[in-house]
Every structure is written in structure tokens, then in C-alpha cells.
Amino acid sequence: MIFKLVKHLLVIIFLTVFTQIGGVVYLLVIFGLKNFDNKIKLVVFLLMYVIISFVVVPCISPYFGRVRIVNSDYLQPRSFLYTLTNRNYVVPEMNEVLQSVAENYEKSKSGAKLIYLDANFPFFNGFPLLPHLSHNDGKKIDVTLMYKDGKGKLTNRKPSISGYGVYEEPIEKEYNQIDVCKQKGFWQYDFPKYLTFGRINLDLEFANEANKELINLFLKHQKVSKIFIEPHLKSRLKLNNSKIRFHGCQAVRHDDHIHVQLR
Ligand SMILES: [Zn+2]
């Protein structure tokens, strides 16, 4: 009995941490279908989870001040899993910024897509989207960096399956914030290297110009208050805007993605 309770509790915590609403759906199923067998419960859970995530939540989230990011040909999640786990909600202003940046970016770099990673959950300010403690108010989003292929041509391919964890390391003579943070004992600073889910597209190279242009498009928006990228990339791309900040050693390194937040 206790084993069963602990098992249920662990599943509820896991689903809540990763999807926000999954734990509640699970509770509804185990209480609503008490006398049914586990296979039926699993099928009903999956069906309910999908229907609630794709139909119900997007209708309710605006009452909590958040909307699902509207995807287009040029604005897309790195993986369908970001959508399936409800990690794609933002305040309406952020959705507008994303639409405008994606559209303008494609205009100047034909075919280039703005690919996003973790944003926020649909409900409750203060509810963090782990492992990003600050993604808790609808005003934060991570987007991928841009790369060139082996022939020097801009591509929408990325070097990691999740979109996180493959770093554009400091080169010789560049300031190495990573070493500084790790020497201070912040062991978690390069933890996302374990979150790649696999390294792919080994031919890719960091695209200096394209990344600079993308960051500048975000900076132009008045509502964008801060952008986090690693200090060596800030100086390599000659970005002098005061909105570009160092996130601190208690966070994780930002040379695998760009963090954008609104005021
Ligand atoms: Zn972030």
C-alpha cells in the first residue's frame, strides 16, 4: 500500500515538474477509474493529457495572462516535445516579439528560422519551468544559436537534439567565464552538456554574423529588457548593448543558446 502511494506520488511529481498539468491529469485518472485495469488507465491518461494540453489549456491560459506561442514557417520549437510538455507558453507581448523577430530575420536571411527551446508553463506566476528557475512568469524564452554548414552556408540545423548543451567554447585569448565559475565551485555551470540527448550535425560551425543579427533584432524591441549570452560571445560579436547581461555563476552557461526576457 505504502509502496503504491509512493509510486503514485513520484509519478505525480515527475509529471508536474516536466509538464505542469500532467500530475493533475494523472490524479483525475487514478481516482476516476479506481476499479479499472492499468492498461485502460494508461490509455485514458494519454488521451486526456493530449486533449487537455492541445484543446483545453490554450483556451484557459489567457485568463492567466499567457498564450501558446503561435508557430509559423519561420518560428518553430526545436522539437515537438516542447509543445507536448506545455513548455511553450509566454505573455502575449513575448509572442508579438517572437513573431516580429522571426519575420524580420527571415526577410534579411532568406529561409532562416527562429527556433525556440524552453519558454514557460501556461499557469501561475512563480511556478518555475525546471531546470530554469527564472522561467516562471511568461516573460522568458530560450532560442537556439545559428550555425553554418561545412560550405559556409547558413542552416537551420542544430548541433544538439534537445537544442541545449553543445557549446561554442571560448577560443584562445577570449575571456573564459566558464573556467572562472567552475573554479569558484559552481559545478552546475556546464551541466547542460548532459542535456543534449545526443550530439548531431558535426559539420556545423557557429555563425558570427547571423547570431549578431538575430540578437540585434531582439535588442531593438523596447519590451526586451535582458539577453543572456556568454561573455566571450558578447565580445566576439561586438555587442555593446547594456541589455546584454551576465547571468551569474549560479545559472548555467549561455554559449549553447540565447536567453531573452521582457521587462
Ligand atoms: Zn533561459
Cβ distance 163 to 195 under 8 Å?
Answer: no
User: Distance, CA 142 to ligand 1 centroid (Å)?
Assistant: 5
**Domain boundaries, given as residue ranges, for the chain:** 2-62, 69-262
User: Distance, CA 225 to ligand 1 centroid (Å)?
Assistant: 13
Paired residues of 252 in beta bridges:
none
Cβ distance 122 to 64 under 8 Å?
Answer: yes
**So what's the architecture of 69-262 in CATH?**
2-Layer Sandwich (3.30)
Contacts of 238 (CB under 8 A, 6+ apart): 212
Question: For the chain, what is the largest distance between any 2 Cα atoms, rounded to a whole number of angstroms?
Answer: 66
The answer to whether the peptide bond before residue 77 is cis (omega within 30 degrees of 0) is no
Tens-digit pLDDT profile for residues 35-57: 889 899 999 999 999 999 999 99
Tens-digit pLDDT profile for residues 98-157: 999 999 999 999 999 999 999 999 999 998 888 888 999 999 999 999 999 989 999 999
d(CA 51, CA 114): 27
d(CA 263, CA 139): 8
User: Distance, CA 59 to ligand 1 centroid (Å)?
Assistant: 25
User: Distance, CA 94 to ligand 1 centroid (Å)?
Assistant: 13
Tens-digit pLDDT profile for residues 60-69: 999 999 999 9
User: Distance, CA 154 to ligand 1 centroid (Å)?
Assistant: 24
